[in-house]
Structure 1
Amino acid sequence: CSALDFIQSQRKVSAPDPHTYKRQEAIWELFTSECVYFLDQLMVLKEVFLATLMDLQTRNCLTDVDVWRLFANLKELCLVSFGFLNNLLRVIKDTLAISEEVCMSIFGQVFKESICHCLQTYCLNYTSALLYLDSLKPREDFGSYVKWCERNEQCRRLQLRDLLVAPLQRLTRYPLLLRNIAKRLQTEEEVAGLQSVADQVDTAICDLEGKVKWLDNYQKVKQLRDALVWLPVWERDKRAFIPENLKHLLKAVTLENLISHRSLLHEGRLVLTEVLRVFLDSYIFSHIVMPQNQELDQLLKEGCTFTVVDQPVSLDRLQLKNIDQLNASTSGLPHSFIIMHQNRYQQCIGAFILQAPSETAKRAWMSKIEDAVTAVLKQDCQQLRHKSTSLWLESSQI
């Protein structure tokens, strides 16, 4: 029966007051939505997709497919959701006679000890799972497996990608459902208690967003690092003549030092006049004279590499000069700006004219670079620097 029919039937038996009826209705909404999430999403993922894949692997098919990378801790999610439903059902069965104290006991315990933790683990793997899924789809054997599973009537025409996102959507809905119940509790103490549970879920979501953002940034920077080719100094600068028998004395450049603790602030298309370059600094890791993001992702998947042909520009040695529309029209370089590279004597040792696809894109690039420069200068001011050290002579911020 529907939630409304069930509650109304119980209302006739116990004749609760309107306030209690609203509370029962809110709790029932949480219960029924959890049932839909468990039966129509989690269990379909587990029994249709995961079970089929594992069965195929026992028959020596798709043995190279990493189950964890696709489904993460799906089995644990199923157990946690099933346990939550059982505990809640014991309370609301027959009479829906649920007290605020029992509400707090169930909700406080299950969200603190299992639901948030399990969903965070799953969600942290979600982006990687989609990338892994996209990398497997071109394979005929894997494509056949996915299509066969998606034709199962339990999927209700949902695709694997639609089902994989369900735990993320469920996590974001929990605070709304909990606060809806809290509004209908009787005492201020119980209301505050359940609100704290909802706040705890919100905190878990915010913490997850930060971790996901960091993880996405790390993976993107790692992708770009693996695609960079750093030429030795004698190939970058033809004036640097090094005899063959002495080249082994020069240490090979390691990109690990260059990109560690870096964040991707902005990316897009920029054209650098005359020369193809990669601009890299401690706060901006951008691809210049490269295709749009989708094209870049495809090139990276295909193993394309990009050669660094000049030194990175240190943020505390960088100045921006805007090229206004009047000068841009006379020079034939619309939507452009100049990056000036200065040495520690404030002499310009390099100038790079960059052209964006639009004026809006140019302003966005300049804003991001200015913010990065400000952040580095502020960080340097907060750090104790000694004039006797090499850090005083030359910045390590690149």
Structure 2
Amino acid sequence: MMSDLMKDSEEPSNKRVKPVGKGGGVTGIITPVKTPALKRLGKSITRSISFRTEARPLPPAPIRSRQKASSFPRRRSSQCWSDTVDSHDLTAKEIKRQEVIYELTEGERQLIEDLRLVKKVYYEPMLTLDIMTESELGQIFGTLDSLIPLHEDLLARLERLRGSEKTVGAVGITLFNWFPCLEAYVTYCCNQVEAKALLDMKKQQKRVEQFLRLCQESSFSRKLDLWNFLDLPRSRLVKYPLLLREILKSTPPDHPDEDTLPDALELVQSIVSEVDRKTGEAECQFYRRGLAYLEDGQRLPEIQLSRFLYCHGELKNSKGQKLHVFLFELCLVLTRSVEDKEGCVVFQVYRQPLPTATLHLEDLPDGEGGGGGAFRGAFTSGNDKVRNCLRVSSRGRSKAQSHSLQANDSFNKQQWISCLRQAMVQSRDRDAQVSQSPLSSRLSPDFALYHIAELSLSSDAEMADQSSQ
């Protein structure tokens, strides 16, 4: 199990308070092993859903003398709790506790400001100007509007706790009573996969692209795009457990929060895990629907029975062709991304899918990418070695097949290998458990008792360190 991962996606703001932990970026198309669905939404969805609108720097804006002041993003002042008080006689531990509670409070305030901004400067103008239909906007923005009063309620509760000396006493019972409101995030986060896909498709329309670009160039956006703002609630959700842990660390043994904060932490962790599980199922269903089968024989039951994705991304085959590969719970599916008549991206299944229960994996050393001239010619030039390759094949099937695949770098390759090994081991363990059960003859192949790895809460910097080891 990985350590706690909270700063998986920086909230798009310059924080007024000291961050609780350091954050960093994890590069690469493939999400790391055991990466939860909530993290995939924040880190890889911009690359994995849209193949025509990958994130790229904005073109240089024309010089406009009248708008020099607005050419820079509006920055938020950085402020700590200790900056808000004239003097105090608190211990260092209590100061740390007040700082984290202040970060929690100010984080709610900033989230509310940004969600209101999204509604005012994105949703309402696009609806009024008929840039998108109400139905399309409803799909992209989802239930975001209903989240604003929830966080306004928490902010009001936290502010009522602040005393005359701007300190907060017990906060645990307040959080415990409010956290059930986060159940609303199930609906919002489950919608994000389809929301991002539709937004990427609509960006191909000139009016939509121009409107979003002008908004991103404006000072109110802080040079962030619409998706950064729509992803704010998810980013905020996965941060609550870390904040509570930090408060608990600074809470003395005889404090009232010593009893209530652990209960609040357990509650919010269970809610985050539930949101993550549901989001993973929604993500899996979305990509299953996007598969285009060329033959009926490709429709393996393992694909439909899979409830989540381990990872997905782009790999090259031995001919140098780019394939989008999906590692579902029970099946590895190689596809080609193509556009349908409506301009939507679909994934055309390439050759026969490989069930993870019969999958064989080879880690190919550099220079041994497949031995064939076509493989070397596709992946290298001149006498260069073939690098970052692996081979997957089926075993125990009537039509055995093998695929030599190349990742874009060594880190990406190791993530694929880790995910593939995990899927293979868990699939075979599951088969063994079912075969040993006296009720196995009456069980369907839908292994509903298997649970996806629990949400990891470590920082991205920690994840990168672990991956490099």
**Secondary structure at 1:157 match in 2:** coil
**Secondary structure at 1:355 match in 2:** strand
Alignment of 1:107 with 2:185, yes or no, is no
Q: 1:299 to 1:269 in 2, by over 3 A?
A: farther
**Secondary structure at 1:66 match in 2:** helix
AA in 2 matched with 1:34: E
Of 409, 430, 439 in structure 2, the residue corresponding to residue 384 of structure 1 is 439
Contact 1:281 1:313 in 2 (8 A): no
Alignment of 1:52 with 2:120, yes or no, is no
Q: State the distance in 2 between where 1:354 and 1:67 align.
A: 41
Shift of 1:79: 0.9
Alignment partner, residue 159 of structure 2: 89
- Post-superposition Cα deviations, 1:68-105, rounded to whole Å, max 9, x if no partner, equal 321122222111111222222223164336432xx233
AA in 1 matched with 2:159: L
Query: What aligned pairs does 1:252-291 form with structure 2 within 5 A after superposition?
Result: 259-262=303-306, 264=309, 268-269=315-316, 283-287=330-334, 290-291=335-336
Query: What aligned pairs does 1:183-332 form with structure 2 within 5 A after superposition?
Result: 183-186=249-252, 187=254, 189-224=256-291, 227-230=292-295, 259-262=303-306, 264=309, 268-269=315-316, 283-287=330-334, 290-291=335-336, 296=337, 302=344, 306=348
Of 164, 172, 176 in structure 1, the residue corresponding to residue 242 of structure 2 is 176
Q: 1:35 to 1:258 in 2, by over 3 A?
A: closer
- TM-score, normalising length: structure 2: 0.57
Q: Which runs of 5+ in 1 are unaligned?
A: 232-252, 273-277, 343-348
Q: Which runs of 5+ in 2 are unaligned?
A: 1-76, 320-324, 377-389, 448-469
Q: State the distance in 2 between where 1:218 and 1:88 align.
A: 38
**Secondary structure at 2:133 match in 1:** coil
Of 189, 200, 214 in structure 2, the residue corresponding to residue 134 of structure 1 is 200
Alignment partner, residue 74 of structure 1: 144
Contact 1:70 1:133 in 2 (8 A): yes
Alignment partner, residue 29 of structure 1: 103
Q: State the distance in 2 between where 1:324 and 1:175 align.
A: 40
Q: State the distance in 1 between where 2:305 and 2:271 align.
A: 24
**Secondary structure at 1:8 match in 2:** coil
Q: State the distance in 1 between where 2:91 and 2:440 align.
A: 70
Q: State the distance in 2 between where 1:151 and 1:331 align.
A: 49
- Post-superposition Cα deviations, 1:90-132, rounded to whole Å, max 9, x if no partner, equal 23164336432xx233222112x31x22334322222322212
Q: 1:79 to 1:373 in 2, by over 3 A?
A: same
Contact 1:264 1:284 in 2 (8 A): no
AA in 1 matched with 2:265: A
**Secondary structure at 1:96 match in 2:** coil
- Post-superposition Cα deviations, 1:161-198, rounded to whole Å, max 9, x if no partner, equal 22122212212222232233333444255213113212
Contact 1:230 1:308 in 2 (8 A): no
AA in 1 matched with 2:430: A
Q: State the distance in 2 between where 1:266 and 1:97 align.
A: 45
Q: State the distance in 1 between where 2:374 and 2:218 align.
A: 60
Contact 1:264 1:285 in 2 (8 A): no
Contact 1:280 1:313 in 2 (8 A): no
Alignment partner, residue 115 of structure 2: 42
- TM-score, normalising length: structure 1: 0.66
Q: 1:156 to 1:135 in 2, by over 3 A?
A: same
Q: Which has the higher helix share?
A: 1
**Secondary structure at 2:290 match in 1:** helix
Which structure has more relative contact order (CA 8 Å, sep 6+)? It is 2
**Secondary structure at 2:166 match in 1:** coil
Contact 2:185 2:275 in 1 (8 A): no
> How well do the aligned residues superpose, as a CA RMSD in angstroms?
4.6
- Post-superposition Cα deviations, 1:324-380, rounded to whole Å, max 9, x if no partner, equal 999x759999966764545xxxxxx44434434489689779847853455335423
AA in 2 matched with 1:209: D
AA in 1 matched with 2:330: Y
**Secondary structure at 2:112 match in 1:** helix
